[in-house]
Structure 1
């Protein structure tokens, strides 16, 4: 049982409202926020942290991470082995927590094993949600085989033709999609991710290509609905975004090539979009120097041309936008630069909501994460300065955070 904490004299951003209450005392015990009060709380043997008027806000959520993606070149990632990928994941998750991300959504490659390591406190990291292996069709974005590789046809046993890699599994047809969805959910996946369009790092699919048939997508969505969870879909072009939302997908990842009409459709359906500008920017700038394949570099350049303008379309349509980064390999250190890219379009308040309450709502964690209220998880940050006026305070890899509290425990505390 963690020690009772009292954060004294805080200016509270609750994850939603731009008008912050001041002079608030926040009581934390048993990993939860117990009370918010303007009077001195009557708590025995509590540790008091005097916030001294600084901004106390919810811990942030990065809804699109790949901790096990130890390199942007898939062949290297596979070749270096599971131990190397795990060591990279630990380093990346520790970095994310120190930046103020007290929860992450591992959206391809995560596992029960990593979730248990975090739950058992084998290392200090954020709250961890994972999709397991991504479902992709043959030749889809998650099928990283080169064009010259021979196919793997089914043999005597049912598993002989199944293509796996460290982050995805190939599933074709309704029956295979159902089986693989059930398998990932059996292994504790919090949600399921599919490849709904072509992508950047895959070698054989055009970025404009729609992927998976309607019956396959609906079958996956139905399995998740029965499990009281949801489907996320990787989509770049507008056509893929629209059809996935129409078929029941809850969150769209990237949407770099979205148009105005599709953005309005997404908003009307109440679906969510998780843009990931920083990975596209970094691949455009660094791709050639880190050995990115020419065909992938061309696709990254194409996506970047409309990535920022796509945010305008989402904002104008009233789409519920979440926070995500999608960084691979050594690029993980650029996680906080996503704030700098988003402020070209969104206000500080909008970005803060994206990184807290909107992301929590999308993840079906409303009222538990991304907010400062009684009964919520005590995942909290204390910021030196006012991020509602200056979002760049969150761009400095945690340097402007005096306190990081995760599940009621002080991960960082500069206030004594």
Structure 2
């Protein structure tokens, strides 16, 4: 099917100046041309008048957890079928907030991704990590209490039994865990390299995985053409991960200048989440005094992290650590754009959710699950993942914090919302 979107201005995901008085030509699910010439409408099956709106690439959130839909301490109360249903609803809601692609940073998404790709469920493209790999008593050891054990038959914890979290200790177990996720189709591998706020039994400052274990994960991923990204907060955790070859850091909130220089020298990506701390959304995931102490420690550091990222011009992508309930996600995910504007300004903030992700996804190599089109940019050869916005978010990123400003959502050439 041939489609035409006309009477628009285009942000291509790379350059700040818009392409004025433009039209986008789509053949099935691929953009074939963006032109400022007059185009005859007769050759197209459908024509959409953009009414002078701004076309931007479909947004990408590089850190979501679709099947984690309750606070950490409440996850063990969920059956696996409930987890799967909630994941599908979270994916659908994410698409209707304008995110046509996500990198799932660890959760139960094998069946969800397959169902979305086959058109059975509405949702974004998913770059899956599958199970998060953690050491025992690490941030991914999500047992709900110290009464829950691990036997030769597996974990007592219902959450751990879903496979969304995996514990591995020693090089052989780490290699096995990485290869299991690759078998499931992981496009990249997620590890826990340090403590976290939401977990109950690991100090935030703890170093997790030995250098040998971490290098084993990186090597196993590299042997399959892809990369490892890591949850971490402190400079010590980041420096160990950098030395091991980890190529993307999640959170990294306690960043210092020495570590920033290492990140810059090694071309490591950062995926920080500012709205969690600037707008205090993180307080909703806290269920104990231990977690609250960790929250306060990290929250105070978020503003310094933002200053250092800008000073060293570190490469970043948009990520939210999206989890919890649908209602919480509806409020939180768009709010991250306000925070990105505060940190980067509108143009660079928009790049984190568009053109920058095109570069990050190159690290997947031949593990890219969507090799037939470009993601995060609008140009010939891109997937027809397009948003039409009332106003220009490259000039005012706050526009994307209100989903009512998104007048049309197209993914893979199919229109899911049109209120033009």
TM range (shorter): over 0.9
**Distance of 1:137 and 1:124 partners within structure 2:** 34
CA displacement, residues 69-97 of structure 1 (integer Å, 9 cap, x when unaligned)? 110133x2222211221222122111111
The residue that corresponds to 1:57 in the other structure is 56
Shift in Å, 1:110: 3.3
The residue that corresponds to 2:365 in the other structure is none
- Length-normalised TM-score, structure 2: 0.91
The residue that corresponds to 1:294 in the other structure is 289
The residue that corresponds to 2:238 in the other structure is 241
Alignment map for 1:151-162 (pairs within 5 Å): 151-152=149-150, 155=152, 160=154
| 2:136 counterpart of 1:142 | no
The residue that corresponds to 1:409 in the other structure is 414
The residue that corresponds to 1:344 in the other structure is 342
**Distance of 1:355 and 1:120 partners within structure 2:** 25
**Distance of 1:284 and 1:38 partners within structure 2:** 45
The residue that corresponds to 2:308 in the other structure is 313
| 2:401 counterpart of 1:395 | yes
Shift in Å, 1:246: 2.1
**Distance of 2:229 and 2:333 partners within structure 1:** 21
Structure 1 stretch 191-200 or stretch 262-271: which is displaced more? Answer: 262-271
Shift in Å, 1:152: 2.9
Structure 1 stretch 169-178 or stretch 137-146: which is displaced more? Answer: 137-146
- Length-normalised TM-score, structure 1: 0.92
**Distance of 1:382 and 1:67 partners within structure 2:** 25
CA displacement, residues 130-155 of structure 1 (integer Å, 9 cap, x when unaligned)? 101011001111112367336535x5
CA contact (8 A) 2:72 2:142 kept: no
The number of residue pairs the alignment matches comes to: 404
The residue that corresponds to 2:199 in the other structure is 202
CA displacement, residues 342-392 of structure 1 (integer Å, 9 cap, x when unaligned)? 222211001110001112211227971000010111111111001122111
The residue that corresponds to 1:381 in the other structure is 387
CA contact (8 A) 2:193 2:209 kept: yes
**Distance of 1:249 and 1:272 partners within structure 2:** 9
CA contact (8 A) 1:232 1:253 kept: yes
**Distance of 2:108 and 2:149 partners within structure 1:** 26
Alignment map for 1:257-296 (pairs within 5 Å): 257-280=254-277, 281-287=279-285, 292-296=287-291
CA displacement, residues 207-254 of structure 1 (integer Å, 9 cap, x when unaligned)? 111111111111111111111111110011111112212211111100
The residue that corresponds to 2:94 in the other structure is 96
SS across alignment from 1:83? helix
**Distance of 1:339 and 1:242 partners within structure 2:** 29
Which consecutive unaligned segments of at least 5 residues does structure 2 have?
363-367
Shift in Å, 1:172: 0.5
Q: What is the aligned counterpart of 2:247 among 241, 246, 250?
A: 250
**Distance of 1:128 and 1:216 partners within structure 2:** 27
| 2:318 counterpart of 1:323 | yes
**Distance of 1:36 and 1:148 partners within structure 2:** 58
Distance 1:7 1:227, change over 3 A: same
Distance 1:129 1:220, change over 3 A: same
Shift in Å, 1:275: 0.5
SS across alignment from 1:35? strand
**Distance of 2:285 and 2:91 partners within structure 1:** 23
SS across alignment from 1:232? strand
The residue that corresponds to 1:115 in the other structure is 113
Distance 1:285 1:173, change over 3 A: closer
The residue that corresponds to 1:13 in the other structure is 11
Distance 1:282 1:103, change over 3 A: same
Q: What is the aligned counterpart of 1:370 among 371, 376, 381?
A: 376
Greater helix proportion? 2
Structure 1 stretch 226-235 or stretch 85-94: which is displaced more? Answer: 85-94
| 2:209 counterpart of 1:216 | no
CA contact (8 A) 2:142 2:165 kept: no
Distance 1:363 1:259, change over 3 A: same
The residue that corresponds to 1:131 in the other structure is 129
Which consecutive unaligned segments of at least 5 residues does structure 1 have?
none
**Distance of 2:419 and 2:142 partners within structure 1:** 45
SS across alignment from 1:286? helix
SS across alignment from 1:149? coil
CA contact (8 A) 1:284 1:301 kept: no
SS across alignment from 2:43? coil
**Distance of 2:14 and 2:407 partners within structure 1:** 22
